[in-house]
Amino acid sequence: MQWKTLDSAPSLPPLYWRAALKRKITGRTLPEHGLRCRVSIDPKRVAAYRKVCGFADSPILPATYPHILAFGLQMQLLTDKSFPFPLLGLIHLSNRIRIHRPLGGVSDLSVAVHAQNLKPHAKGATFDLITTVEDSLGLLWEAESRMLCRGVKLEGAAEDIAQSPPDQVSELTRWKAPVDIGRRYARVSGDYNPIHLSALTAKLFGFPQAIAHGLWNKAHTVAALGEHLPSANIEIDVEFRKPVRLPGEVTLLSSAAGSSGELRLKGAGDIEHMVGKWRPIA
């Protein structure tokens, strides 16, 4: 893996322009390089993120917050000329984060992103977007987001690695996903994908109404689990099933508190939006 080190986190508006212009699949190999840069934590941005995602105040960063620190780098990688798939239209299938040490007392961090593991899928091809966050002591946090690009033809058999839905779970809480949550999450995350912003812009991409960001669903779930989860040496793995249409209401079911457990996020009519589990890092 070759690394390009940037002086600062990329500016998002030009990257959105680049994403809007690229609509075609231009290849079948992932770029050989990754991107990295140093970032600093802005307490005001963290506070705004907590409010939108339902996290309580704490000296420790929300477990999902490093996604926000990495978003500009991810956008730069996924809109680079060497990246074969158009960013608009990618589908986020699953997300796993690993928290190696508590995210407390951190201010200056090094973030790196790269793509790997291109594989055939029944509907196209999947790849993993890998993000790592380091502090002065080494690896602090990492994430793996599996993305699907429809319409890519790859040699080989598609594998099905879906999680089985949890069974030993009971209702923990429920919350509303208001009609404007896609716009509010976009303001704190930088992720202005049109499918999340309004019914009008979502219809351009074949959705009858706007849908919540998958990572907002995950963040709100982690916030709701709160005290049930250890603050470090934990991996939280979720699979996104059916999108949460806005406005909507969801119910979180989970197993008892402990170092490992399972969760399920469901909507009206028992629609399964997300399933997941947490456990100590192997």
- pLDDT tens per residue across span 228-240: 899 899 999 999 9
Q: Which amino acid is at 9?
A: A
Distance CA 234, CA 254 (A): 16
pLDDT tens per residue, range 121-164: 999 999 999 999 999 999 999 999 999 999 898 888 887 777 77
- Which segment of 12-16, 45-49, 81-85, 156-160 scores lowest on mean pLDDT? 156-160
Query: What pLDDT does 172 receive?
Result: 93
| Average pLDDT rounded to a whole number, residues 3-24 | 93
DSSP codes joined into one string, 49-75: HHHHHTPPP-SBPPTTTHHHHHHHHHH
Query: What pLDDT does 66 receive?
Result: 97
Query: What CATH topology corresponds to 2-279?
Result: Thiol Ester Dehydrase; Chain A (3.10.129)
pLDDT tens per residue, range 205-225: 888 999 999 999 999 999 999
Question: Helices 181-189 and 214-225: crossing angle, nearest 10°?
Answer: 90
Q: Which amino acid is at 80?
A: D
Query: What pLDDT does 94 receive?
Result: 97
Query: What pLDDT does 63 receive?
Result: 96
Rounded to whole angstroms, the maximal C-alpha distance in the chain is 49
Query: What pLDDT does 224 receive?
Result: 96
Sheet of 234-240, strands arranged across: 2-5, 33-40, 108-121, 124-135, 138-150, 91-99, 234-240, 272-279, 261-266, 248-254, 170-177
What are the tokens at 121? 């899928």
Query: What pLDDT does 204 receive?
Result: 86
Q: Is 9 a residue whose pLDDT tops 80?
A: yes
Query: What pLDDT does 159 receive?
Result: 75
User: What are the C-alpha distances in Å from 250 to residues 21, 206, 222?
Assistant: 35, 23, 14
Query: What pLDDT does 84 receive?
Result: 96
pLDDT tens per residue, range 163-205: 777 878 999 999 999 999 999 999 999 999 989 999 999 998 8
Q: Is 269 a residue whose pLDDT tops 80?
A: yes
What are the tokens at 60? 């420790």
To the nearest whole number, what is the mean pLDDT of the chain? 93
pLDDT tens per residue, range 87-105: 988 999 999 999 999 999 8
Query: What pLDDT does 52 receive?
Result: 98
In the chain, % of residues over pLDDT 70: 100
Query: What pLDDT does 34 receive?
Result: 98
Q: What residue ranges do the domains of the chain occupy?
A: 2-279
